[in-house]
Structure 1
């Protein structure tokens, strides 16, 4: 199943690059403050870290884009909850992110709100330790990306948003508050 999902994503993204319904192509680079949070926790914890991602932006219409992506998230526990109290609970991820998303946006100059959803894989090491879960897993798992944010600037080339990757098989989600910049590629007319 995992190999089939990866093969499907590769075939889908390679065929979309030359598709005639793609109006413009760009590259989006994002960097941000990463977090990981367990689904079930008694203590309020959010482990922090680093997030980076690159996306191939395939504009279908002024309000709809397809976005194959590759990224990396690294989070680790400091042994404290959000109130600075010691805790044994944690949700750590060290993973390469790969997948595809669809973005729906309001085509407004200067400030364009958006929402996106997709499917992908996380490849790496995941640890979720709570009163209810004790998961220490490595390898390939699926995730569901979800993002909300704003595209800023005259050409909407600055991206400011919250992006999350729900990972049900390890009972945690990872995410980031990220800033991105979009660079247009040579688009054929």
Structure 2
């Protein structure tokens, strides 16, 4: 199943890169403040960290884009909950992220809201320790990316958004408040 998912993602992204319906190609680089949160916990916890990601932006229309991506997230626990009380609960991820997303956006200059969804894989080490779960897993798991935000600027080349990767097999989600910049590649007119 895992090998099939990886092969499917590679085949889809490699074939779409030269598809005739792609009007423009760009590279989007994002960096942000990462978090990891368990699905269920007694204490309110959100472990903090770092997020970075690169995307190949394949623009089909002014309102629809396909976005194969690769990135990573590193989060760790400081032993405290959101209220600065000590806790043993944690949700940590140290993972490489790989997958594909589709973005639907309002084609508005200067401020264009968007929403994304897709499927991908997380490769790394994951730990979820709560009153409900005790998971310490390494390897490859699937995730479901979901994001929303705004594209800013005259050409919508600055991206400001919230991005999440739901990881059901380790009972946590990771995410980030991220800022991105888009660099155009050779585009068809």
**TM-score bin (small chain):** over 0.9
Q: Distance in 2 between matches of 1:36 and 1:72?
A: 13
Q: Distance in 1 between matches of 2:3 and 2:82?
A: 38
How far the C-alpha of 1:187 sits from its partner, in A, is 1.4
How far the C-alpha of 1:6 sits from its partner, in A, is 0.2
Q: Which residue of 1 aligns with 2:35?
A: 35
Size of the aligned set, in residue pairs, is 189
Q: Tell me, what secondary structure is at the counterpart of 1:156? A: coil
Q: Tell me, what secondary structure is at the counterpart of 2:132? A: coil
Q: TM-score, normalised by structure 1?
A: 0.99
Q: Distance in 2 between matches of 1:151 and 1:25?
A: 16
Q: Distance in 2 between matches of 1:149 and 1:29?
A: 15
Which consecutive residues of structure 1, in runs of 5 or more, have no partner in the other structure? none
Q: Which residue of 1 aligns with 2:114?
A: 114
Q: Distance in 2 between matches of 1:132 and 1:37?
A: 13
Q: Distance in 1 between matches of 2:59 and 2:32?
A: 24
How far the C-alpha of 1:40 sits from its partner, in A, is 0.7
Q: Which residue of 2 aligns with 1:179?
A: 179
Q: Tell me, what secondary structure is at the counterpart of 2:21? A: coil
Q: TM-score, normalised by structure 2?
A: 0.99
How far the C-alpha of 1:188 sits from its partner, in A, is 3.4
Q: Which residue of 2 aligns with 1:65?
A: 65
Q: 1:1-189 residue pairs with structure 2 within 5 A?
A: 1-189=1-189
Q: Distance in 2 between matches of 1:16 and 1:82?
A: 43
How far the C-alpha of 1:186 sits from its partner, in A, is 1.1
RMSD: 0.4
Q: Distance in 2 between matches of 1:78 and 1:39?
A: 19
Which consecutive residues of structure 2, in runs of 5 or more, have no partner in the other structure? none
